[in-house]
Amino acid sequence: MKRLFPNVLMDDQGIMTRNLVRGTRVYGEKLLDVDGEEYRVWNPFRSKLASAIMEGLKELPIGKDSKVLYLGSATGTTVSHISDIATDGRIYCVEFAPRSMRDFMAVAESRQNIVPILGNAKDPQQYAAFLEEVDLIYQDVAQVEQAEILLRNLPFLKTGGNIMLCIKARSIDVTRDPDKVFREEVSKLRQKIDITETLDISAYEKDHSFVVGIKR
């Protein structure tokens, strides 16, 4: 058993996070007992953050007290694992689709560090009143303006805080070379962000890239 990051382990069954809500599954994942603690197996085919870890993510900028703005929470698969890590923190989760939000509410109800927000990440003023300054912005949205959406939300991030962005090339332009799309999105981010890692996660999510950076 190898410790990768706080509350994140890896063994021959894959990566896993220590379960914040013992005995509870979120998406049918396997539960394991490790030295008397319960861990949830983290499926990299269901979570882009897990796939980035599998592809060699060097730093996971989430601690037990972290405040996170999560854009595009969907039904909460990745959010739930971040919740396992940021046990004493707060995860503000913005989701646009009412159907996904209904499913997500069941996850949020059992995890006190999750704040669900029904809103559009393209218009941060919709939810500005619910937020405080955060340590990390994590974004996973299937929109055309992916870099622009993150930059619009950047005022919520403290200086020196981190961004983690899943770039979905086909959501931006299905006709273009994904590598060119990735480079253009990263170039936009460099206006205000120092890029520290870029990872190709297409082995788990076709035509996807994962970007990590620090706000200047």
Q: What is the pTM of this model?
A: 0.94
Are 57 and 84 spatial neighbours (Cβ–Cβ below 8 Å)?
no
CATH class, domain 44-215, is alpha beta
> Tens of pLDDT along 69-125?
999 999 999 999 999 999 999 999 999 999 999 999 999 999 999 999 999 999 999
* Secondary structure (DSSP) of 162-210: EEEEEEEHHHH-TTS-HHHHHHHHHHHHTTTEEEEEEEE-TTTSTTEEE
Q: Where are the domains of the chain?
A: 44-215
* Per-residue model confidence (pLDDT) at position 207: 87
